[in-house]
Amino acid sequence: MRIPRIITRGVILLMLLIAMTGCQDIFTYSVLAPLATSPADMTTAQLESYAEGALSSGDSAAMKAAYDALAASLPDDVATNPDLCLLATDLAIGGSGIPNAVTGALSLVTSIPADPTPEETAALETAITNLIGEIDTTILADSVDIFEDLADLAATDSTVEISDTQYTNAAAALVFAIVTDPDVADPAADPRMTTAGEWATAAGFDMTMLTGMLGG
């Protein structure tokens, strides 16, 4: 099946994220049972368990709620509790709506006919752009900021363990932030793309060919 060439950055971005799902089990985590207690009434330990349960649920709304509840407990220095900060980045990415966008985009792409009409191509472009518009860019930016500190810490502290999935998720989040930044004329030339590439490389994925699609 031939995928038509779409010129909008939003569609290219989703194609990049979809390609990244092929090399990692993106947004997939171990199964943990979520707690039913209100986050407002939890101790820090209970809140962490609740957050892990929300993460395993795969529900974006639950993950966003858990991230919002956990955010106030995050230390200013990620070295104080790197595991808690990693959990927060996972929640922020999952709760942002990116997993739903990727799933929706995959469904749309597989429905493309072999020789789409201009109208079908335009409809695909609009549908994927709408998916992107549903992503919460605020908590996604939070996840990137926290993860950047964690990646720097992991480079010098061998006790800080970041999984391939977490590196891939963070790279996807950063690429999204770059491509949707209205002040960025050429996403491929943005210095932050180097950081995203480094995170992807840490997960065993080379973004060079894909980022070449983003040239201004």
The string of DSSP letters for 150-205 reads: HHHHHHH-TT----HHHHHHHHHHHHHHHHT-TT-S-GGG-THHHHHHHHHHHTT-
* Confidence bin at 149 (pLDDT 50/70/90): very high
Q: Is the pLDDT of residue 35 over 50?
A: no
* The pLDDT of residue 213: 62
Greater pLDDT, 14 or 200 = 200
Rounded to an integer, the average pLDDT of 171-175 is 88
- Is 4 within the bounds of a domain? no
Report the chain's C-alpha Rg in angstroms.
Answer: 18
In a domain, 3, yes or no: no
Lowest mean pLDDT among 47-51, 102-106, 157-161, 196-200: 102-106
Residue with tokens 């957050």: 51
Q: Of 211, 214, 216, whose CA–CA distance to 20 is shortest?
A: 211
Instruction: Identify the band that residue 83 occupies on the pLDDT scale cut at 50, 70 and 90.
Output: very high
pLDDT of residue 81: 92
Q: Does residue 169 sit within a domain? A: yes
Q: What's residue 159's pLDDT?
A: 94
The stretch 66-82 carries a mean pLDDT of 90
pLDDT of residue 163: 92
Average pLDDT over residues 175-190: 85
How many whole angstroms from its chain centre is CA 112? 25
pLDDT at residue 160 is higher than 60 = yes
Residue 183 covered by a domain = yes
Q: Residue 111 — pLDDT band, cuts 50, 70, 90? A: confident
Token readout for 77 is 């220095």
| pLDDT bucket at 178, cuts 50 / 70 / 90 | confident
Written as six digits, the tokens of 53 are 């349960």
Checking if the pLDDT of 86 tops 70, the result is yes
Q: pLDDT of 126-138, one tens digit each?
A: 888 888 888 898 9
Query: Is a pLDDT exceeding 60 seen at residue 152?
Result: yes
| Position 1 in a domain | no
In a domain, 203, yes or no: yes
Into how many domains does the chain fold? 1
Segment 133-154 mean pLDDT: 93
How big is the CA angle at 149 (ends 61 and 152), to the nearest 5 degrees?
A: 135
Domain assignment present for residue 45? The answer is yes
- 40-56: b (≥16 Cβ within 10 Å) or e: eebeeeebbbbbbbbbb
Calculate ∠ Cα 81-41-76, nearest 5°.
Answer: 25
How far is Cα 126 from Cα 202, in angstroms, rounded to an integer? 33
User: Mean pLDDT lowest for which of 107-116, 145-154, 193-202?
Assistant: 107-116
Q: Rounded mean pLDDT of 166-173?
A: 89
Q: Is residue 31 part of a domain?
A: no
Its domain, for residue 135, covers: 9-25+37-214
